[in-house]
Structure 1
Amino acid sequence: MKKIFLTAALVIALSLTSNAQIQTPQASPHAVIEQTVGLTTVKIDYSRPSARGRAVYGELVPFGRIWRTGANMNTVITFGDDVKINGKDIKAGKYALYTQPKADSWDVILYNDINNWGTPEKWDETKEVVRATVKPEFVSRHVETLTIGMNALENDFGFLEIAWEKTMVALKIEVPTKATALKSIEEAMSGPTQGAYFAAAQYYYQSNADLNKALTWINLSIEKTEKGQDAPFYILRQKALIQAKLGDKAGAVETAKLSLAGAQKANNQDYIKMNQDSIKEWSKK
């Protein structure tokens, strides 16, 4: 019996051991930094190897080879807005960050395939979004762990800095702060947007508030439609609902017909059915 108890205890112990999760620190810890440059968000997601007494450039990272610029999966840089690098327009989005270190210059590369472990098995030059050559700088202090970030920030630009060991490279990234700010100012000075008027009218309708004010706001929303464009069918639908609730069934039917035409053009089956049903209901005498 004692032998049976010992065996059972051993099985339980082994089971607990096999189910336990072992936690150890990563050799190259994961890091995510997010920096606002002007009005643009730049995010960098990477793993950070340390030198640990090793010579880095020319040995651990050979000169002339494309380097993942980090460890593990791709280092990924994300731009919240369109930016400009080396005179080239770069669309907002995510890019893998690679470099090609050399003794007297570096190539910094943005690559539009971010799903690689390290460098791609086969490098595809057509996937290079931009390749910019920069001069390496000597850093007086020893940078033990690879550090990537956005520094030397101004309203219209910042520098992507990559520092490790005693070397740093910096790439200028221009952001559309002026254009974004001017657009924001113009929109604010011109009053509420089409969406703001629509949201206000919709809330007043749904909460049984002042329906005449709701009608005024929905009309102002319609007036905000760009010249040469049809008013959005969902906004017209809201106007028809307000008119019907105010007792103007004839006006509601005419507006619903416009909404129906827009929904048919957009092939939105939900709004097609809702308008057809309402037209039928409101047309009854």
Structure 2
Amino acid sequence: MKRILLACFIALGFSTQAQIQTPAASAHASLEQTVGLTTVKVDYSRPNMRGREIFGSMIPYGSIWRTGANATTKFMIDKPVMISGKELKPGTYSLYTVPGEDMWEVVFYTDDSNPLINTFEDDKVALRTMVEPMEMPMNMETFTIVIDDVMADSAVLSLLWANTVVPIKFNVMTDAEVMKNIDRALAGPSAGDYYNAAVYYLNSGKDIEKAKTWMNKAMDMTEKPGFWQYRQQSLILAKAGDKKAAIEAAKKSLEGAKTAGNADYIKMNTDSLKEWGAM
């Protein structure tokens, strides 16, 4: 019995100890920066020098480094960016580096599951480039990643540790995106804009004549309207007092719903056609 009680006290002691939180040896950090119209995020851990010689010693030249500690550094973009004239598509990447005395290789890797690797698999390399490191006049004790030199169409992702900084310049597609937005805005409302406005007016009990005009424009601008669009058009036309056109639209909606096998729209259109004296 005494042995059992002793075992219980020991287990309880370990359980209590396991609840004590302690700081990680390498602190976690994240940063987010808008560059032009592109959101860039970095998630990484920050090891310290602790009196050690870093590059060429603790991290040997020519070896693959996960660019941080604990896990691979994550680089996330919501729009494509250009690095050294190459396009990196939107997504989440592991950021690997291969430090060298004169040049660093920087690799954006599609496998972001924290793999520790000795060689790169070519099909997982989204982009690779060579960057010349720069010497700093002082030591950076804690590994740091910053996004600086932020312009409307570019920025620099800088890796700083010990007396070394590795600047990785990237460009964003701000001008092309803005020009596309300008062209879209100056071209006037889209079919979707007219459709959404018309349905809102219908459901909100607003000016039904405006809703009718907007819906007709939306349908004229749509190459192949869906049965759900014809359904909304029929309701607007009926409410506007144009029963003949409403019946025509409802029949198109019914036909499309039958083809799609949508029982709800078949019933709704059938009920409306009966109500309007068309069946």
TM-score scaled to structure 2, two decimals? 0.85
Among all aligned residue pairs of Structure 1 and Structure 2, give the percentage whose two residues are the same amino acid: 42
User: Which consecutive residues of structure 2, in runs of 5 or more, have no partner in the other structure?
Assistant: none
Residue number among 59, 67, 70 corresponding to 2:68 in the alignment: 70
CA distance in 2, matches of 1:23, 1:215: 64
Which residue of structure 1 aligns with residue 23 of structure 2? Answer: 25
Secondary structure at the counterpart of residue 236 of structure 2: helix
Change (3 A) 1:202 1:42: same
Say which SS state the counterpart of residue 16 (structure 2) adopts: helix
Call closer, same or farther: CA 1:262–1:282 in 2, change over 3 Å. Answer: closer
Structure 1 range deviating more: 175-184 or 141-150:
141-150
* 2:148 is the counterpart of 1:151: yes
Distance 1:277 1:19 in 2: 65
Paired residue for 1:278?
268
Residue of structure 2 in register with 1:192 after alignment: 189
Superimposed CA distance per residue, residues 221-259 of structure 1 (whole angstroms, 9 cap, x where no aligned partner): 33443xxx4234443332222223334444233323444
Q: Report which stretch shifted further, 183-192 or 46-55.
A: 183-192
For 1:165 and 1:145, the matched residues in 2 are separated by 8
SS in 2 for 1:162: strand
Residue in structure 2 matched with residue 252 of structure 1 by the alignment: 246
In 2, Cα distance between the equivalents of 1:260 and 1:93? 42
Question: In the aligned structure 1, how far is the partner of 2:270 from the partner of 2:136?
Answer: 77
C-alpha distance 243-125 of structure 1, shift in aligned 2 (>3 A)? same
Instruction: Give, in angstroms, the shift of residue 156 of structure 1.
Output: 1.5
| 1:142 alignment counterpart | 139
Aligned position for 1:132: 129
The gaps in structure 1 that reach 5 residues or longer are 1-6
Q: Deviations over 1:55-88 (max 9, x none)?
A: 1101121110111001122211111111212211
Following superposition of structure 1 onto structure 2, how do residues 1-285 of structure 1 map, counting pairs within 5 Å?
14=12, 18=16, 21-117=19-115, 119-120=116-117, 123-225=120-222, 229-259=223-253, 267=260, 269=261, 272-284=262-274, 285=277
Distance 1:262 1:171 in 2: 54
Output the CA distance in 1 between the equivalents of 2:256 and 2:84: 44
Stretch deviating more after TM superposition (170-179 or 202-211): 202-211
Structure 1's 103 and 273: CA in aligned 2 closer, same or farther, altered over 3 A?
same
CA 1:122/1:169 → structure 2, altered by over 3 Å: closer, same or farther? closer
Task: Specify the code of the residue in structure 2 equivalent to 1:183.
Answer: K
* Distance in 1, Cα, partners of 2:134 & 2:255: 63
Range with bigger deviation, 28-37 or 193-202? 193-202
Partner residue of 1:4?
A: none
Is the CA contact 2:254–2:270 (under 8 Å) kept in the aligned structure 1? no
| Amino acid in the other structure paired with 1:236 | Y
Task: Report the Cα offset of residue 38 of structure 1.
Answer: 1.3
- Flag the 1:243–1:146 CA change in 2: closer, same or farther, 3 A: same
Let me know the Cα RMSD of the aligned residues.
2.6
Deviates more, 1:274-283 or 1:93-102: 274-283
Q: Distance in 2 between matches of 1:197 and 1:186?
A: 18
Distance 1:140 1:216, change over 3 A: same
Aligned counterpart, 1:3:
none
**Comparing 244-253 with 275-284, which one deviates more in the overlay?**
244-253
Write out per-residue CA displacement over residues 99-124 of structure 1, whole angstroms, 9 at most, x where no aligned residue.
Answer: 0001110000001110124x237631
Q: Give secondary structure in 2 for the equivalent of 1:283.
A: helix
CA distance in 1, matches of 2:83, 2:231: 45
- Return closer, same or farther for 1:170/1:211 CA change in 2, 3 Å cut-off: same
Amino acid at match of 2:79: D
Residues 112, 129 of structure 1: 8 Å contact kept:
yes
Change (3 A) 1:20 1:198: farther
Query: Which residue identity lines up with residue 239 of structure 1 in the other structure?
Result: Q
Secondary structure of 2:159's counterpart equals: strand
Query: Shift of residue 264 of structure 1?
Result: 6.8
Closer/same/farther in 2, CA of residues 142 and 19 from structure 1, 3 Å limit:
closer
The 1:54–1:91 alpha-carbon spacing in structure 2 relative to 1, beyond 3 Å, is same
